[in-house]
Amino acid sequence: MKNAFSGGWQDRDAQARGDAARQAQMLASARTRVLPMWRGKPQLASGALGYVAPPDPLLAQAVTPFLYLGTQEGRAHFAADISRWEPDVLDRAALAMFTDTTHQVHPAATPGAYFGELRLAMTQLPASEAAMAATARAIFNWHRTHRFCARCGSPSEIAMAGWERHCPACGAKHFPRTDPVVIMLVTHGNALLLGRSHGWPEGMYSALAGFVEPGETIETAVAREVLEETGLSTQAIRYIASQPWPFPNSLMLGCVAEATSRDITLDDELEDALWLSREEVLAAWSGQHPRITPARRGAIAHFLIGQWLAGHV
């Protein structure tokens, strides 16, 4: 299975981001599609993204200018952040949970449309739609956390159809951030190392992961993270695949490494780490292990483990 969010769409059309007249023309067309996003959740409908037309009343509280995503199937696509809308009933505790299963329905939404957690919908969406939703979520996350100029501290403004922020006080330009994260399968003979972080759902184990620090290569980051979290030294580190992961703004760099021993010394970052045989990993991956649940389908950890089980890694 291909990693969720790893697909693309026809044309990001970057040359149009600075053309306000062209964007206005596109937003005046009935063929243009706009994806409403509410606090990181895309609008969903019937197993697909719940696009609306540009003049839809649902967009009345949207932050402007809209984010221009480009073109797909001959249509211009935008995304609009309507997070200023406040539902009449809102379970704030659920919004902060590891997996938010709640739905929010805007009063102007078409029947059956709702705002839902992208992680739960990522494997049901068409590849291009999942990629667009992930891009929009990541860009809106960046705008939310970078409202002030990093050079002079003044409020900055959205520019280039959502792809930049400009500071009117000092003229600085700021661009979206993507944080590289290594995620790695650590093997030793016929066994695989899996770990779990504090606060994860009961039984959930996955591949180890950590942020790449300044001045590191991917391989150096893998070796450091495994050593810090489990005390294990590694060798034969190699890159396998990548995945955009907009929770909030990461690029997951999937790797595999061989441990030189199985002597685990846990760091405070992990709640637990253990070695599993190939048979135990297969049982967990297929949902049949008595106490370990599989990595989420669509996530790169699930893909990497599947490749290891199939003998491709």
39 & 100 share domain: yes
Q: Is the pLDDT of residue 22 over 90?
A: yes
297 & 208 share domain: yes
Question: Domain containing 276 — which CATH number?
Answer: 3.90.79.10
140 & 150 share domain: no
Q: What secondary structure letter does DSSP report for 49?
A: E
116 & 161 share domain: no
Beta strands in the chain (DSSP E): 33-38, 41-45, 48-49, 67-72, 75-81, 114-115, 157-159, 164-166, 173-174, 179-188, 191-197, 208-211, 234-245, 250-259, 270-277
Q: Is the pLDDT of residue 109 over 90?
A: yes
Which helix (H) or strand (E) segment holds residue 225: the answer is helix 218-230
163 & 68 share domain: no
The percentage of the chain sitting over the pLDDT mark of 90, rounded to a whole number, equals 89
Q: Is the pLDDT of residue 2 over 90?
A: no
Q: Is residue 1 part of a domain?
A: no
Q: Average of pLDDT values for 44-68?
A: 96
Q: Is residue 185 part of a domain?
A: yes
Residue 92 pLDDT grade (very low, low, confident, very high; cuts 50, 70, 90): confident
Domain count, the chain: 3
The residue from 134, 154, 176 where one domain ends is 176
Structure confidence at residue 272 (pLDDT) = 96
Residue 99 pLDDT grade (very low, low, confident, very high; cuts 50, 70, 90): confident
Q: Is residue 4 part of a domain?
A: no
Structure confidence at residue 7 (pLDDT) = 85
Q: Is residue 294 part of a domain?
A: yes
Q: Is residue 247 part of a domain?
A: yes
Asked whether the whole model's pTM tops 0.95, one would answer: no
Q: Is residue 2 part of a domain?
A: no
By DSSP bridging, strand 75-81 and strand 67-72 are antiparallel
pLDDT digits (tens, 9 = 90+) for 152-202: 999 999 999 999 999 999 999 999 999 999 999 999 999 999 999 998 989
Residue 91 pLDDT grade (very low, low, confident, very high; cuts 50, 70, 90): confident
Helix, strand, coil distribution of the chain in percent, nearest 5:
25, 30, 45
292 & 190 share domain: yes
86 & 172 share domain: no
120 & 232 share domain: no
43 & 139 share domain: yes
122 & 157 share domain: no
Q: Is the pLDDT of residue 296 over 90?
A: no
262 & 213 share domain: yes
123 & 165 share domain: no
User: Closest Cα partner for 41 from 71, 76, 88, 81?
Assistant: 81
3-state secondary structure of 162: helix
Q: Is the pLDDT of residue 126 over 70?
A: yes
The residue from 124, 144, 164 where one domain ends is 144
Q: Is the pLDDT of residue 240 over 60?
A: yes
3-state secondary structure of 279: helix
Q: Is residue 230 part of a domain?
A: yes
Q: Is the pLDDT of residue 1 over 60?
A: no
Residue 96 pLDDT grade (very low, low, confident, very high; cuts 50, 70, 90): low
Q: Average of pLDDT values for 20-42?
A: 97
Q: Is residue 3 part of a domain?
A: no
Which residues does 215 contact at the CB level (< 8 Å), separation at least 6? none
Q: Which domain holds residue 134?
A: 14-144
Which residues does 291 contact at the CB level (< 8 Å), separation at least 6? 203
Structure confidence at residue 154 (pLDDT) = 98
Q: Average of pLDDT values for 199-211?
A: 94
The residue from 99, 120, 144 where one domain ends is 144
Q: Average of pLDDT values for 27-38?
A: 97
User: What tokens were used for 13?
Assistant: 């059309």
Structure confidence at residue 85 (pLDDT) = 96
Q: Average of pLDDT values for 60-72?
A: 96
Beta bridge partners, 257, equal 186
Mean pLDDT computed over every residue of the chain: 95
Structure confidence at residue 94 (pLDDT) = 67
